[in-house]
Amino acid sequence: MTAPLILASTSRWRKDLLARLKLPFRCVGSGIDEEKWSEGVRYPEQVAIALARAKAVTVLAHEQDAVVIGSDQVVALGDRCLGKPATPERAVEQLLELAGRTHRLLTAVAIVRIGGMVEWLDDTVMTMRPLTRAEAERYVAADSPLDCAGSYRIESLGIALFERIASDDATAIVGLPLLRTSAELRRLGFPIP
């Protein structure tokens, strides 16, 4: 019998992705302060991994018999991280900064259990089409991506903002790369076909 599986997230998108593997699991929010955990971390790759690890380890501290999956995404424009905009005005400004440019969507995953951890980073290269301010405002009003890094929901209307996406695992774009996640869970004894 395998350990209980917990997704250290309350994201409906990550929950829907993990549910595709047909395993029983629970969702438990980590409650971490993302600002605190990313303080002093210089590179976007390190920020994403630090946040995924912090989420998983924080939940594991209260659920020690479980296998816990933590995941986080960072939008990297060069060496800068673009976070969750929180306001429509900031979302529009982020979209205009990304418009016509290529950026990276970094999806980090940490799978932890007492006595072990595996973590990795999925790197997706995304090119946004040029946008006018009116298009950015219309998109933000329609999709309300205020809680999304980079100010877009790729799993919704946000797909219309892009010219090109290069990814090894399309599920990483939504928030949890299932190719590697399912391989790691199989390695831990979870019965995935």
Residues marked as catalytic: 72
Separation of alpha carbons 140 and 23, rounded Å: 35
Q: What are phi and psi of 81, to 5 degrees?
A: -95, 135
Continuous segment of H or E residues that includes residue 71? strand 67-77
Instruction: Kindly list the distances between the CA atom of residue 122 and the CA atoms of 8, 53, 67, 140, in Å, as whole numbers in the listed order.
Output: 18, 14, 20, 26
55 phi, psi to nearest 5 deg: -60, -50
- 44 by Cβ neighbours in 10 Å (0-12 / 13-18 / 19+) ranks as buried
